[in-house]
Amino acid sequence: MRILIIGAGRVGSHLAERLSKLGHDITVVDKDERKILSVINIADVEGLSRDVTDPRFFEDIDLSSYDAIVIATDRDEVNLFVASIARLYNVERIFVRAKNTQTISLLNLIGVESVIVEPLIAANMLYSLIQGKYELVHLVSALTGEFFLVAGAVRETSKIRGKILSHIMDEEIPKGVKILAVFDGENFYDPTEAPPLEPGHVVVALVSNRSLKEFNELF
């Protein structure tokens, strides 16, 4: 897959390194040449030191030739601008990092659904831990907003406490739910290999909007 990553900070550079190791064709762009030099030293990627607020840049790189774009600068206004350009060039998959929750509404207006709002994710997780309610934490919306990537923590009174996921997948897990992983505080497990669920274990799942309430009741 040919992927364009805008922003060579910690998020962009780490993602570029991981995706390049999987064999994807990665181009990383940042106006800070030092960041570009840093990322090309750790990953097999093409690095470009350019200003992405200049619309001519997207003509120069033939934006429409990319399969996906990840927009991960630390400025929401820049990310919103680039996302708008990507929509004009009919880039099919657009992933955006945002800091302000209001940016979500603007991105949705232009048809971008895959948005990571870092402060919101952190706040939801901390709220859940402080309140001791272990409510579902929405990590990110996906697949045109019909599904959500969520995390739920098992507690003492959870219906699935003590159970093995592979044994209850067909009977107790609601339709419209795809369990992706179980985290026990130290290791991530494939759901088919996860140990019995105990308090503190976190279940990560892709859940349809219509199944959120039913899935939440398991915890």
Q: What is the pLDDT of residues 152-207, one digit of tens each?
A: 888 888 999 999 998 998 889 998 898 988 988 788 888 888 999 999 898 988 88
Give 121-216's CATH code, choosing from 3.40.50.300, 3.90.550.10, 2.40.430.10, 3.30.70.1450.
Answer: 3.30.70.1450
State percent of the chain over pLDDT 90. 43
For residue 172, how far is the Cα from the chain centroid?
27
Q: For the whole model, what pTM was predicted?
A: 0.60
**Residue 189 β-bridge partners:** 182
Residue of 31, 35, 22, 25 lying closest to 4 (CA atoms): 25
Residue 123 pLDDT: 58
So what CATH class is 2-112? alpha beta
Q: Which of the four pLDDT bands, split at 50, 70 and 90, describes residue 137? A: low
Judged by phi (left if over 0) then psi (alpha if -120 to 50, else beta), residue 44 lies in beta
DSSP 136-171: -EEEEEETTTTEEEEEEE--TT-TTTT--HHHHTTT
Taking only the tens place, the pLDDT of each residue in 48-87 is 999 999 989 999 999 999 999 999 998 889 989 999 999 9
Asked if the model's pLDDT at residue 8 lies above 90, the reply is yes
